[in-house]
Amino acid sequence: MNPDADSAVAVVPAAASAVACVPSRFADDLLAAQPFAGYALEECLASSETSAVFKAADRNMNRTVAVKALSPCPERGSAVEDFFSQAGAVARIRHAGLARGLDAGRGGGAFFMAHEFARGESLEARLVRRQAGRFGEKESLVLVRNLASALQGLFDLGQSYGDLRPGRVLLGDGGRPKLLGIGFAWTLAWPDDRRAFLDSPDFLAPERIAGEFTVDIRGDLYSLGCLWHRALLGTPVFRGRTPAETLDMHLAARPVSPRETDPRLSAASSQLILWLLEKDRDARPRTPREFQRKLAEHPLLEGKGEDGENEEGEGTAEGGDW
């Protein structure tokens, strides 16, 4: 089974969790053509029919980088403008919780973005390896606190992320989590957003599913609530019989209180998750910082401050992918 490049982390997996990549036709064609000026694609780390992640050599800077390549759907007429606008925004970001983009370009009918190379795994992979597929409550709080800090870093630059989910979070070896790359980019491989959403329905804000023109940081906070629920309880907030039903549940269904699912959880965690999962974005935290302030009052985090200090064993992971 290939790692899924549409939600992949361009990292080197730890030996215990490494999954060999069998390159897709798309990845094989890029390896053969070497179409990206200045980069030598060396090893496929993850691939699908429309995207691939490579370990690559940056010839100009004499360094190893991660390169994510994407084949946009021809029906996405504005894909070029959107891609390079967002790539430029990513390249300007400097924050410990956000992966640093190095370069972007195109060649051979594909777009690419280069990032610093890193060792680690995605939050999704980490959860799969965990007993019951979940984190302990305090561990989940530290994770969410650090991700909220990263979202605030985006907000301070007038940006939102747009696709926060476990596959987009890099966990380096003992490292602080990082958000990876351009959140919206994966949708460009599909003819329209609805088709893309059906492929990954578990972490999307209602307003994004509804196709509202303006989607802001409060949509990322909804996704953070979905991610926290998944990490803490081991299951998505909603799971319909079909992807379309799951999307409809995000639009209209009331989420079950996390304490109803697991009575061992604190009331504070349950209430904070439900606050993030409000259908009306005006009822959610207005900014990540507002959420951080409330999170800092949690009994398991009191005295740590809004962003807190890293728990024992945590440091800052370098690099990542989009």
Phi and psi of 98, rounded to 5°?
-125, 130
**Model confidence pLDDT, tens digit, residues 1-34:** 344 444 444 444 433 334 457 889 999 999 999 9
* Prediction pTM value: 0.83
Residue 122's identity, in one-letter code, is S
Give percent of the chain above pLDDT 70. 83
Query: How do the domains of the chain map onto residue ranges?
Result: 5-119, 121-179+191-313
* In contact, 32 and 60? CB cutoff 8 Å: no
List CB contacts of 148: < 8 A, sequence separation 6 or more.
224, 288, 291, 292, 295
* In contact, 47 and 21? CB cutoff 8 Å: yes
* E runs forming strands in 48-203: 51-58, 63-70, 101-107, 110-116, 118-122, 169-172, 175-176, 178-179
* E runs forming strands in the chain: 11-12, 39-47, 51-58, 63-70, 101-107, 110-116, 118-122, 169-172, 175-176, 178-179, 315-316
Domain 5-119 class in CATH: alpha beta
**Model confidence pLDDT, tens digit, residues 24-78:** 999 999 999 999 999 999 999 888 888 888 999 999 999 999 898 988 887 776 6
Q: What is the mean pLDDT of the chain?
A: 83
Give the CATH number of domain 121-179+191-313; options: 3.40.640.10, 3.20.20.30, 1.20.1080.10, 1.10.510.10: 1.10.510.10
CA distances from 174 to 44, 127, 155, 320 (A): 25, 15, 26, 14
pLDDT at site 12: 42
DSSP state of 317: P
